[in-house]
Amino acid sequence: MILRSFLLAVGQIGDPRFRKVLGLGVVLTFALLVAAYALLLWGVQALTGDAVTIPIIGEVRWLDDLLGFASFIFMMVLSFFLMVPVASAITSMFLDEVAQAVEDRHYPQLPPAPKVPFGDALRDTINYLGVLIAANVAALIVAAFVFPLWPLIFYALNGFLLGREYFTLAAMRRLGRERAKELRRRHRGTIWLAGVLMALPLSIPLVNLLIPILGAATFTHIFHALNDRRSA
């Protein structure tokens, strides 16, 4: 079921609605990271000013430039780890369109799903973004102490978060929030495994930016398969 769902999602990757959501997610993610870097630079300049007096050495005017360069390196390293989580969270605001594209092609017999209010989508996105960033930063800290286990921690954690979020998004459109959570709890093992398989390409540059789209499409198929099994 999981492999079939993923292959169906890959087969629809050229859908114009998929490309639209991908473009929006990437553009908004870069804009957010640039804004965060600009804020970081502003903070560095506010702290250092035009010159800093260091005991014995005296006045140093290039400290703000040095800190600015260090902040750039720091932001690049941080963005490497946060690019996909941030893109995933932002893209989740528009995944209703991906799920609808999947249902239009593969489940045309279904009645129209109610639209998710923008306010609800924004709230869920902010919550998801906070959880993703906090969890991945915590995982980075843990990795410093158990580095050999880092790949296992990374894939298990992001697989859990991806599966939980995307299955809930797909199920909520048809069942509502509470029934979606109930179905997710009933099939948590399958959903986690599917999430881990979706998390495996996260370490592949550029390919990882497709994961939010493929994840939403894959879990839409998985939801319908599990829901049909429940109804049978």
Dihedral pair phi/psi, residue 115, rounded to 5°: -70, 140
Beta bridge partners of 58: 54
95 Cβ neighbours under 8 A, 6+ residues apart = 21, 166, 169, 212, 216
Distances (CA, A) of 46 to 40, 50, 108, 168, 225: 10, 9, 57, 43, 55
pLDDT digits (tens, 9 = 90+) for 34-56: 776 666 666 656 655 555 444 44
Tokens of 12: 């629809």
All residues at 6 or more sequence positions from 1 whose CB lies less than 8 Å from its CB, including other chains: 190, 222, 225
Q: What is the distance between the alpha carbons of residues 151 and 142, in angstroms, rounded to a whole number? A: 12
pLDDT in the model for residue 232 = 54
Taking only the tens place, the pLDDT of each residue in 109-166 is 988 887 777 777 777 777 777 787 788 778 778 877 887 887 888 888 888 988 888 8
Residue 146 confidence (pLDDT): 80
Q: What is the pTM of this model?
A: 0.74
Q: How confident is the model at residue 66 (pLDDT cuts 50, 70, 90)?
A: very low
Candidate from 32-46, 102-116, 163-177, 178-192 with smallest mean pLDDT:
32-46
Confidence of residue 190 (pLDDT cuts 50, 70, 90): very high
| d(C-alpha 200, C-alpha 184), whole Å | 21
Describe the crossing of helices 16-48 and 95-106 by its angle, rounded to 10 degrees. Answer: 170
pLDDT band at 79 (very low <50, low <70, confident <90, very high): low
Kindly report the average pLDDT of the chain as a whole number: 77
CA 165/CA 54 separation, integer angstroms = 50
Task: Write the pLDDT tens digit of every residue in 81-103.
Answer: 566 566 666 666 777 888 889 99
Domain span at residue 124? 2-231
User: Mean pLDDT over residues 11-21, rounded?
Assistant: 88
218, 198 Cβ separation under 8 angstroms: yes
Total domains in the fold of the chain: 1
Query: Alpha carbon of 142 to those of 13, 82, 151, 154: distances in Å?
Result: 35, 16, 12, 10
